[in-house]
Every structure is written in structure tokens, then in C-alpha cells.
């Protein structure tokens, strides 16, 4: 079997949005990066993910030079609605946070824009890399090895960025005694449907209902994304389109239920919910970013945004390192984790507030109702929620 050697400054493992964004930011700073991905490009693009971008994420995509289509096609939202007790209540993010807002633009589209820009700049991305392994990241000469088309490849680099997700090799390569994990698994999942139908509302609706949580979201003015809380034992095959639409209607206020436009699903899936954090996020010359280091339940729309914040911190640290400031990289993990845990707290709190928990009972439901009532009645409580939803600053 033949052997090929590569040399780069930063080896990025994973060609999802976090790996691609890191590569784009480093390229604009004159730093070489080679991206290795075990899946095909088509597979990466086929993954259906979140679509709410914080302002900080929008700014990062602009800084990477890939924001043009996002600003042209994305939907700017200045608020969202909480539905409970049969009525909707709007949280005015724009007014409560001094003009901040979010952008609804699908993660698939973010990935596509980053892929297109990387290809246009003739930057190297290696897809369908098998048996990816990380070596010697506890010293000054880390390596990444992989196999492709019968050829063994070795990448010599200064740093490895682990952007390969929860199930990737990067976190798994860290010695067990060097990492600590924290996890909460929620006792339900989300059944999600994507449909080419106009959204039921021009802003997102988060619904707390005695039958369970529901979310009305969108990808464009003609494509909608809807979710209902379901049992972890449920199977997608058990849910016909008609059954899904009927259940969604039951969990909405009368006006939304009456105006809901239904149609055939173009994607349907069930996702479990978990909170997960791995500490620290740096091990010598290996830095974890995004889902490789943390997972949040999707209720607060923080997954992609947290990954982008990690990339912001990591790109700054690497740019500083190559600029002669060797101390900045030492702060990478602590800076990330402070923001990560705040986002974990918000996502856990919002999930706890909006979902039906099997063990909560009637008292738990009353507590949810009281907190929701306080949340929409108190300017201070509404402001705190809006501040967290639009995204905390990247300090």
C-alpha cells in the first residue's frame, strides 16, 4: 500500500459547519488548514439540522466572507412566541435587547455556502477518509493519519482541531483520565417534519401543552419545520403525515391550528434530547470544538451557535499563536466553557419549562404554568430570556 505525506499548519477533523468555518477564518488570516472528513460531501449536506443563527454567528459568517446568500435569503426575526393556556405571547427580542435579532437560515445552507467558498478558493478538503486517527497531540509534532482509495495518508501539523461531532474520533482519542464528561438524557424525543408549506406564523411558536411540547419553525417563506414531543419508544414509521398534523394542531392555540397549512412531509425523523459537556476542550495540540465537546437540547437553538462561538475563540487563539502570542491558546478551553455552560443552562431551563415530563405530575404542570405566566408578565424575566435567546456575547 502506498503512503502519502502532507504538511499543514492546522489539521481540521470534520467538514461540518464548524470545521469549514474554522478553515475559512484561518484562510483569511493566512494560515494553512487541511480538512479531513470521513463522510462524503453529499452526506454532510444531507443532514437536516437547526436553522436559527445568533447575531454573533451571522457576524462570523460575514467575517469568513460567506454571508451574501444568507443576507439575501435568510429571514430576520426580532421576536418569537410562547404558546400556553390556549394563547400566544410574544417575546420582543429586538425591543428587549437594544436591537438584537436572530437569522433563520438552515444549517444545510450555511454548510453549502462554506463548501462553495472553500472550493472556489481551491482549499483542500479530503472527503471519505477512512480510519482517521490522531497521534502525538501531547507533544509539538501532532499527526493525523487516514486511508483513502487504498492509500495511507499522514498529515503533519502544528495543531489538530477536532470538529467531528459527538461520535467523532477526536474526543474519543483523548485518554480517559484526561477528560471529564457531564450528561443529562431527557425522557422524550422530538418528532420533526419538513414540508414545502408556508409557515403557520412569521415567527417561531414554542408551545407548552398538556399533551406535550410543540415547535413551529421554518426554513423559508415556503418551507416549514415542525416538531412535536414524542416518546423515545416511538418509531417514525408509526407516524403518518396525517397523524403528525393532527397532533400538532392539538398542541397549538385555536388561531394557529386553524391557519396551519399541511402537506406531504419531505423529511421526517425522531431526535433524542441530551445535554452533554466534556471538559477541558484542549489537550496539548488538540482542541475540540462544537458537538465534539458539547451537546445541547435543540429547544434553545444553541447547537450550531455554540460551535460557531468555539470556532471564534479557536481561530483567534491560533491567529495569536502564529502572530507570536503563545499564551492565548492556553485560555481557549476556559473561555469556551464559560459560554458553553451558560448556553447549557439556558437550553436545560427552556427544555424543562416547555416539555411534559413523565414524573412532574399535576404540581409540576402548575409550576410550569406559573413560571410561563411570570415570564411573559415581567419585563425583567422577558429581558433575561430574550438576552439568552439572541445569544450572549463572545468575550
Could you tell me the three cell numbers for 113?
455556502
Task: Give the whole-angstrom CA distance, residue 119 versus residue 140.
Answer: 30
Task: Give the whole-angstrom CA distance, residue 324 versus residue 301.
Answer: 36
Task: Give the whole-angstrom CA distance, residue 73 versus residue 253.
Answer: 29
Enumerate the β-bridge partners of residue 87.
Answer: 84
Give the 3-state secondary structure of residue 181: strand
Is residue 221 within 8 A of residue 199, CB to CB? The reply is yes
Give the 3-state secondary structure of residue 36: strand
CA angle, 207 then 48 then 20, to 5°: 120
Give the 3-state secondary structure of residue 90: strand
Taking alpha carbons only, the member of 80, 96, 78, 97 closest to residue 88 is 80
Give catalytic residues, as residue numbers: 77, 206, 298, 302, 389
CA distances, 14 to each of 132, 354, 387 (Å): 10, 33, 31
**Phi-psi map region of 85: left, alpha, beta (phi>0 left; psi -120 to 50 alpha):** left
CA angle, 34 then 36 then 41, to 5°: 115
Q: Are strands 214-220 and 205-207 parallel, antiparallel or unpaired?
A: antiparallel
- Which residues, in sequence order, are CB contacts of 19 under 8 Å at separation 6+? 12, 13, 35, 37, 161, 163, 164, 289
Amino acid at each position: 500500500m502506498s503512503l502519502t505525506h502532507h504538511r499543514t499548519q492546522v489539521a481540521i477533523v470534520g467538514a461540518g459547519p464548524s470545521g469549514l468555518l474554522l478553515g475559512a477564518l484561518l484562510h483569511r488570516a493566512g494560515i494553512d488548514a487541511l480538512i479531513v472528513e470521513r463522510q462524503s460531501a453529499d452526506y454532510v449536506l444531507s443532514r437536516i439540522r437547526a436553522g436559527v443563527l445568533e447575531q454573533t454567528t451571522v457576524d462570523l459568517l460575514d467575517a469568513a466572507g460567506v454571508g451574501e446568500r444568507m443576507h439575501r435569503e435568510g429571514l430576520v426575526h426580532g421576536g418569537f412566541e410562547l404558546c400556553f393556556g390556549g394563547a400566544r405571547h410574544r417575546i420582543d427580542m429586538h425591543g428587549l435587547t437594544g436591537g438584537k435579532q436572530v437569522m433563520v437560515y438552515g444549517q444545510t445552507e450555511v454548510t453549502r455556502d462554506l463548501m462553495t467558498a472553500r472550493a472556489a478558493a481551491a482549499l483542500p478538503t479530503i472527503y471519505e477518509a477512512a480510519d482517521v486517527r490522531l497521534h502525538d497531540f501531547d507533544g509539538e509534532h501532532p499527526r493525523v493519519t487516514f486511508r483513502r482509495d487504498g492509500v495511507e495518508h499522514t498529515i503533519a501539523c502544528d495543531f489538530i482541531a477536532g470538529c467531528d461531532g459527538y461520535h467523532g474520533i477526536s474526543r474519543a482519542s483523548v485518554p480517559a483520565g484526561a477528560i471529564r464528561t457531564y450528561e443529562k438524557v431527557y425522557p422524550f424525543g422530538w418528532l420533526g417534519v419538513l414540508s414545502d408549506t408556508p409557515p403557520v406564523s412569521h415567527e417561531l411558536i414554542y408551545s407548552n401543552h398538556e399533551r406535550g411540547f410543540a415547535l413551529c419553525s421554518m426554513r423559508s417563506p415556503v418551507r416549514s419545520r415542525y416538531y412535536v414531543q414524542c416518546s423515545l419508544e416511538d418509531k417514525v414509521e408509526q407516524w403518518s403525515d396525517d397523524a403528525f398534523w393532527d397532533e400538532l394542531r392539538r398542541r397549538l392555540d385555536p388561531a394557529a391550528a386553524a391557519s396551519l397549512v399541511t402537506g406531504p412531509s419531505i423529511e421526517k425523523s425522531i431526535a433524542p434530547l441530551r445535554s452533554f459537556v466534556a471538559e477541558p476542550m484542549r489537550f496539548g495540540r488538540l482542541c475540540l470544538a462544537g458537538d465534539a465537546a458539547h451537546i445541547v437540547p435543540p429547544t434553545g437553538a444553541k447547537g450550531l451557535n455554540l460551535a460557531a462561538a468555539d470556532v471564534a475563540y479557536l481561530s483567534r487563539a491560533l491567529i495569536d499563536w502564529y502572530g507570536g502570542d503563545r499564551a492565548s491558546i492556553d485560555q481557549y478551553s476556559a473561555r469556551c466553557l464559560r459560554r458553553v455552560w451558560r448556553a447549557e443552562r439556558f437550553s436545560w431551563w427552556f427544555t424543562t419549562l416547555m416539555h411534559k415530563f413523565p414524573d412532574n405530575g399535576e404540581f409540576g404542570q402548575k409550576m410550569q404554568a406559573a413560571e410561563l405566566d411570570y415570564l411573559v408578565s415581567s419585563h425583567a424575566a422577558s429581558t433575561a430570556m430574550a438576552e439568552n435567546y439572541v445569544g450572549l456575547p463572545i468575550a
